[in-house]
Amino acid sequence: MKLNYLKIIALALCVSVLLSGCGFSSKRAMVDPSKVTPAESYSFEKLTFSGIEEQDFSAHLEAEDGELSSGAAIKKDKSGFSGDGYVDISDNAGFKLTVEIPSNQFYKITVRHCAGDHKENELMFNGKKVLDIYSEAGDWQESLADGVFLEAGENTITLGSGWSWFSIDSIDIENGVSIDDSVYSGMSETLSNEYANLKTQNIYQYLRAVYGKRTLAGQCTDYGNNTETDALYLGLGKYPAIRAFDFIFDSPSYPYQNDRPAKDYDLAIEWSKDGGLVVYDWHWHAPCGGPDFYTENTTFRLSNAVTDKDIAHMDLDDIKALYDGGEISEEAYKLVSDIDVISGYLQKLEDNNVTVLWRPLHEAAGGWFWWGASGSEPYKWLWRLMYERMTDYFELDNLIWVWNAQDEEWYPGDDYCDIAAIDIYGAAHDYGTSPATLADMRNWSDGDKMVTMSECATMPDPDLIVRDNAYWLWFAVWNWDYIVKDGTTELSGAYTDLEMMKKVYDSEVIITRDELPKF
């Protein structure tokens, strides 16, 4: 545990009366609120869109009336369908419908569907995704999206990428509304850690001021180098406001750790000194059972680690004694051991005045990472263990906790989270803003967490951000070929074309590093 000199002084002052109850609290001192720069001190004018043509409209489309090819077939086996049947989809490419839209405005789209088990598919209008269709085993169900902007004229409805093997009964289109500004109100005024340091609190207040009015540009980067950010600066003349680093090769179980000793944290310190904001991810190589973060490549199972022992607040030697005595599993002991190592790196970042937007245990609901393979309850246990270990035991006061499990059932609770995040990978050159997802995520917590797009394939079009009122707190394009050519510092344009990149980085909607205040 790190030394706290305020605590030492306080103990010295009250040592003579400690036994009689001097009332001393073991918590470290909180920052004087009067020193924190409030969100209200920043002024961002709200940008709005005016090209709406209000006209009443509704359309009911039967799936069986579409243009079907191999991979899509009309069926009548399942009861409860509307019209003359429904369409079984085994290949998404086999389905197409067209509809005449009367005016440029926002619409609500509802898809009626079912499947034999869990399936995920995409509904596309004119090649752009407007809705994720999540099917569960059982009867007919509905997926819907409000605030979908459609342009007047013939619109082509198809299915994008997905698992296929589901059924569509019908699609309804009716008047809708864009995201209401209330989505951005009522956000928590303070961080979950009441002892967060001054810089961290100032950054959080700035993010509160930005939210709903601007979006910060972000970029994920390869481990140990500046390739992606250098490419952006060379090509666009600006750096992103946020850079995402990774502890991917810093887990104790990583077999070649000595060849790659924590290179990212030196770069993170430099980035912070230059005025940028730091995100840290952790592709956590399993502590035992095979050093890999993918579920299929390790025998490590989080469910074997869960214990009711309060190991978050114990010294590691005491935890080891529990393991030696058979009271906890090897998995539990080594989880904490790994967390302690990464906490050491985070402490070095705090010592160098670096605030970290801390995004561990990401994409858990997908199950492809071991921390999600045992289900939501073990995952939430691990999240809370890590939070308490880092916040209470190590007293790390430079962290803003970014939760990114991809599903509301995996939410660990408002007391353990500051920002809610989701990763969205659309098709190349699809610059949509996924407004329905943003609005839906408002309800994943108690409604008081800002929402961000922590990974994405393409940069969102700033004009569409304004039109859809979809102000994600930040976006972060994934690294490598999503942004550069073959590991060079040349922008690739493979996912976001160069013209759109320039539009994004020059837009008043988007905040780049040069526009950040000095925290």
- Residues 371, 364 contacting (CB under 8 angstroms): yes
Residues 262 and 376 in one domain: yes
- Under the banding of pLDDT at 50, 70 and 90, the label for residue 262 is confident
Confidence tier at 51 by pLDDT (50, 70, 90)? confident
For 262, residues 6+ apart whose C-beta sits below 8 A from its C-beta are 247, 250, 345
Strand partners, 369: 294
What would the two tokens of residue 364 be? Answer: 């858990």
Note whether residue 17 is domain-resident.
no
- Does one domain contain both 151 and 261? no
- What band does 24 get if pLDDT is binned at 50, 70 and 90? very low
State whether 139 and 226 are in the same domain: no
Q: What is the per-residue pLDDT for 17? A: 30
Identify whether residues 201 and 171 lie together within a single domain.
no
**Phi, psi at 93, each rounded to 5°:** -70, -10
Longest dimension (CA), the chain: 87
Q: Is 3 helix (H, G, I), strand (E, B) or coil?
A: coil
| Alpha carbon distances (Å) from 92 to 38, 102, 118, 165, 430 | 50, 27, 16, 9, 18
Domain stop point among 124, 150, 175:
175
Mean per-residue pLDDT for 335-344? 97
**Does position 251 have pLDDT exceeding 50, yes or no?**
yes
Q: 328 and 417 share a domain?
A: yes
Task: Give the structural domain span for 133.
Answer: 58-175
Does a structural domain hold residue 214?
yes
Contact 397, 354 (CB under 8 A): no
pLDDT score at 3: 40
Residue 7 has pLDDT above 70, yes or no: no
User: The tokens of 270 are what?
Assistant: 């430099």
- pLDDT higher than threshold 70 for residue 16: no
- My answer on whether 111 and 232 are in the same domain is no
Residue-wise pLDDT for 414-460, tens only, equals 999 999 999 999 889 999 999 989 999 988 988 899 999 999 999 99
State the Cα–Cα distance between residues 379 and 510, nearest whole angstrom.
Answer: 34
User: In this predicted structure, what is the pLDDT of residue 27?
Assistant: 56
The helix (run of H) or strand (run of E) holding residue 166 is strand 166-175
Classify residue 248: in a domain, yes or no.
yes
Same domain, 207 and 150: no
Burial of 382-393, coded b for 16+ CB within 10 Å and e otherwise, reads bbebbbbbbbbb
- The answer to whether residue 26 scores a pLDDT higher than 70 is no
Question: In 10 A of CB 48, how many CB atoms?
Answer: 10
Instruction: Please choose, from the candidates 190, 184, 182, 183, the residue with its C-alpha nearest in 3D space to the C-alpha of residue 415.
Output: 190
**Residues facing 474 on adjacent strands:** 216
Q: What CATH code is carried by the domain that includes residue 94?
A: 2.60.120.260
| pLDDT confidence band for 260 (50 / 70 / 90) | confident
pLDDT at 5: 34
Residues 171 and 202 placed together within one structural domain of the fold: no
Residue 283 lies in a domain: yes
What number is the average pLDDT over the span 122-132?
92
Give a yes or no: residue 27 inside a domain. no
Domain boundary among 175, 201, 218: 175
* 79: in domain: yes
Q: What's the CATH number where 289 sits?
A: 3.20.20.80
Question: 471 and 344 share a domain?
Answer: yes
User: Is 494 a residue whose pLDDT tops 60?
Assistant: yes
The more confidently predicted of residues 315 and 120 is: 315
- Domain-embedded: residue 414: yes
Pair of tokens at residue 399: 């962290």
Residue 187 resides in a domain: no
The pLDDT of residue 138 is 93
Count how many domains the chain has. Answer: 2
Is residue 327 pLDDT above 70, yes or no? yes
* 112, 209: one domain: no
How, if at all, do strands 215-220 and 510-511 pair? parallel
Q: How far is CA 502 from the centre of its chain?
A: 24
Instruction: Tell me the per-residue pLDDT of 174-183, one tens digit each, with 9 for 90 and over.
Output: 999 999 999 9
Residues 321, 206: one domain? yes
